[in-house]
Amino acid sequence: MDRRTALAGLSSLSIGAALGSLGDARAAHGSADRTPGKLRKLATEEAFTVPEVAEALRRVVRAGGSNLDLPVLATIYDAPAGTQPRFLSELLDVDERRIADMDRHGVDVQVLSLTAPGVQMFDADTATSLAIVANDRLAEIVRRHPARYAALASFAPQDPARAVKEMERSITHLKFNGFIVNSHTNSEYLDQPRYWPILEAAEALDAPLYIHPRAPSDGMAAPFRDYRLEGAAWGYGVETGTHAVRLMLSGVLDRFPRLKIVLGHMGEALPFWMWRLDFMAAPGARAAGRTNQLKPSEYFQRNFTITTSGVEDPLALRYCIDKIGADSIMWAIDYPYQPTAPAVSFIESAPMSEADRDRIAYKNAERIFRVTARA
Amino acid sequence: MDRRTALAGLSSLSIGAALGSLGDARAAHGSADRTPGKLRKLATEEAFTVPEVAEALRRVVRAGGSNLDLPVLATIYDAPAGTQPRFLSELLDVDERRIADMDRHGVDVQVLSLTAPGVQMFDADTATSLAIVANDRLAEIVRRHPARYAALASFAPQDPARAVKEMERSITHLKFNGFIVNSHTNSEYLDQPRYWPILEAAEALDAPLYIHPRAPSDGMAAPFRDYRLEGAAWGYGVETGTHAVRLMLSGVLDRFPRLKIVLGHMGEALPFWMWRLDFMAAPGARAAGRTNQLKPSEYFQRNFTITTSGVEDPLALRYCIDKIGADSIMWAIDYPYQPTAPAVSFIESAPMSEADRDRIAYKNAERIFRVTARA
């Protein structure tokens, strides 16, 4: 693994600049020669599934409809006869190839979560039951490999009261490290009062809520139905970023000030938008009627942490370190959707101080997901 | 005007980093003491209107409907009796307060364009007629102040054939500097074949097409109807960024390879998303069926230029310079929607080499909009 791999996504124009910054960062911080493999690495957005959920998703795909997650789900859970289902065997495996991949690349811990869209496309009863099944199975996986895995709990937002029960069980009984939710549920968002018990529970249990992408909700889907725009290239980020902005501008974070939210994909571009968000959406800003207590950047600093999943760009990481601080950033691979090797090369070679590298590679994840105490 | 104003949008955590970079940049490039006011400044996204369009927009507002641009338009064109219409007198003025504001802050040239949503909410006949009226009026304005204004032409996408006629007239007869379009028209996007004559004309006339924001189109409006999410804080960027990604991933830029597109607002965050766009949407990338000839970053480098309108963040500008190069960035104020003083302070004090500052403040705009030849 060399530096070129980590920089492969940069345009030729910017490689020189990135290498220049690398030189600066090393000169400034005096540490250049970390042996690859010695950096402890906790990967924080790593996907798995269980056969019961895979089978239920196959039924969802076969039922059809206009939901924009269906095209991708079809390629994973209902691949045409004779074709290889994408990612499915990797998602189902936790004991063999996954750990071999971690060992090969020096990944110490994966924080596992049920892959998107989780249980959020099922009816409320099925979703509630399958969240329990998936969490029980995940607890067994962590018991088998306590030093290699941590766990984010699934829940069914379709039934907030039962979701809260499962959230409590997963933290107090199963000793999980946080929660995962896949953006909208039936085109509704967590700022809507019906979902406030979920936010309240996450805050009360003092466990972070990872808002993972899914395709744009029905009410914003139309322009994303062409050219595969609905997926990871564009729609996921628009959907999840919009969800996060709703949480900031709704004022719901004034009600749950200690809620910890995690966003992947370098914060779904919110750090890049922060100046404009503040200018246009601060309390008392020119758009009248803003009653939120804080500016968007203040909510972001207080309530949000981001991960690097799917954005292995040294310049974007540099921007985020300077904008929101290295304490608010965690490394991720997005296994098995992204290859492990370049994600590892990225965190091992991207220009930053070695203190920041330790924070982003593992220390922040240990603190925020309380991983050390369990392993 | 001091450095603090330009940095006001940064969180306290990042001010130190920005000032640190400032020191580095000055040390590296050896030029620190530019006298404020000596930097030539061409502002490239500056709005005006004419009474006929304002009156027609007032009728649109009064006709009502669910279009998401209506809430903001109401505050400008149909303010309740006894309240001050927002921005309207500034939009209508080009001879007095505007030039005084430019003189006060050392702005040499404003590139004027009919303010959003232009003529795109009118029926095709009205839109076509009002585009001609607005362009004729704008030509008179430039004739009155040839050294102070340049001009982007309006056209009515509702009738592509007549739009092309007006595009030709505005370049060959009125000697305008480019075109402006306000994202979607009746919830349709320029990658759709019905609009290809417009792209073809812009390419053939060798004049840039500025894609300015408006609120999200009807098919993606639902999640933006709360908390004023539809506007400049969030929805404008999502709408316009989505439009630009459609142009890249549709393959239409393979057909019009010399088309020049301008995006405001620091490129509507596309530079920040570029690594992920490339990974997920490159030709032959894992999402099957990508037949585009180039990677998104290659289209962006070839076909797009960005402006700084509404994002006066030294870190975001630094990121963009490193990512896409200073030759692809132009300064803007977004007059009268953003105040001039901090926009000027931003371009005068943001950390960059003085060569890059000259490029971004005026040289790129002179080249891309061919301003020098006319003034």
Whether the pLDDT of residue A81 is over 90: the answer is no
Shortest CA distance to B265 belongs to which of B240, B229, B231, B301? Answer: B240
Please state the pTM of the whole predicted model. 0.90
Determine the average pLDDT of the residues in B188-211. 98
Determine the average pLDDT of the residues in B181-202. 98
Which DSSP symbol is given to B79? P
Torsion of Cα atoms, A266 then A268 then A270 then A273, to 10°: 100
Shortest CA distance to A164 belongs to which of A209, A126, A118? Answer: A209
Cross-chain CB nearest to A242 (options B234, B287, B338): B234
The DSSP element (H or E) to which B8 belongs, if any, is none
pLDDT at position A288, please? 54
Contact A226 B21 (CB under 8 A): no
**Catalytic positions of A, please?**
334
Chain B nearest CA to A243, separation (Å): 8
Each residue's pLDDT tens digit, B228-270:
999 999 999 999 999 999 999 999 999 999 999 999 999 999 9
How far is B212 from B263, CA to CA, in rounded Å? 7
Task: Please tell me the least confidently modeled range out of A206-220, A289-303, B89-103.
Answer: A289-303
What b/e sequence results for A312-342 when a residue is b if at least 16 CB atoms lie within 10 Å of its CB, and e otherwise? bbbbbbbbbbbbbbbbbbbbbbbbbbbbbeb
Whether the pLDDT of residue A8 is over 80: the answer is no
Contact B232 A187 (CB under 8 A): no
Q: Which residues contact A38 (CB under 8 A, 6 or more apart)?
A: none
Which residue of chain A is at minimal alpha-carbon distance from B280? A233
**Greater pLDDT, B184 or A35:** B184
Cross-chain CB nearest to B223 (options A220, A266, A279): A220
Share of chain A above pLDDT 90, in %: 84
Whether the pLDDT of residue B27 is over 50: the answer is no
Distances (CA, A) of A300 to A51, A257, A277, A278: 37, 11, 11, 11
**Greater pLDDT, B199 or B27:** B199
Cβ-Cβ contacts under 8 Å, A219 against chain B? 220-223
Which residue of chain A is at minimal alpha-carbon distance from B278? A9
3-state secondary structure at position A307: strand
Let me know: does B17 contact B315? Beta carbons within 8 Å.
yes
Runs of H (alpha helix) within chain B: 3-6, 12-29, 51-63, 70-77, 88-92, 97-105, 124-144, 160-168, 196-204, 235-249, 252-255, 265-268, 270-281, 296-303, 314-324, 340-349, 354-358, 364-368
Chain B nearest CA to A105, separation (Å): 21
Whether the pLDDT of residue B149 is over 60: the answer is yes
How do strand A261-263 and strand A209-212 relate by DSSP bridges? parallel
ipTM value: 0.90
Cβ-Cβ contacts under 8 Å, B274 against chain A? 9, 11, 313
pLDDT at position A83, please? 86
Whether the pLDDT of residue A120 is over 60: the answer is yes
How far is A162 from A124, CA to CA, in rounded Å? 9
Whether the pLDDT of residue B313 is over 90: the answer is yes
How far is B97 from A13, CA to CA, in rounded Å? 41
Contact B223 A246 (CB under 8 A): yes
Cβ-Cβ contacts under 8 Å, A190 against chain B? none
Cross-chain CB nearest to B272 (options A187, A280, A316): A316
**Greater pLDDT, A2 or B171:** B171
Confidence of residue A202 (pLDDT cuts 50, 70, 90): very high
pLDDT at position A3, please? 35
Task: Please tell me the least confidently modeled range out of A20-34, A286-300, A337-351, B354-368.
Answer: A20-34
Whether the pLDDT of residue B218 is over 80: the answer is yes
Let me know: does A233 contact A205? Beta carbons within 8 Å.
no
How far is B7 from B160, CA to CA, in rounded Å? 43
Cross-chain CB nearest to B232 (options A237, A265, A280): A280
Let me know: does A332 contact A264? Beta carbons within 8 Å.
yes
User: Is the Cα dihedral A32, A35, A39, A44 positive or negative?
Assistant: positive
Q: Give φ, ψ of A302 to 5 degrees.
A: -85, -40
How far is B324 from B308, CA to CA, in rounded Å? 13
Which residue of chain A is at minimal alpha-carbon distance from B323? A14
Contact A245 B265 (CB under 8 A): no
Amino acid at B145: H
Mean pLDDT of chain B: 90
Whether the pLDDT of residue A11 is over 50: the answer is no
Q: Where are the beta strands (DSSP E) in A213-284?
A: 261-263
Let me know: does A338 contact A287? Beta carbons within 8 Å.
no
Contact A13 B301 (CB under 8 A): yes
Whether the pLDDT of residue B37 is over 60: the answer is no
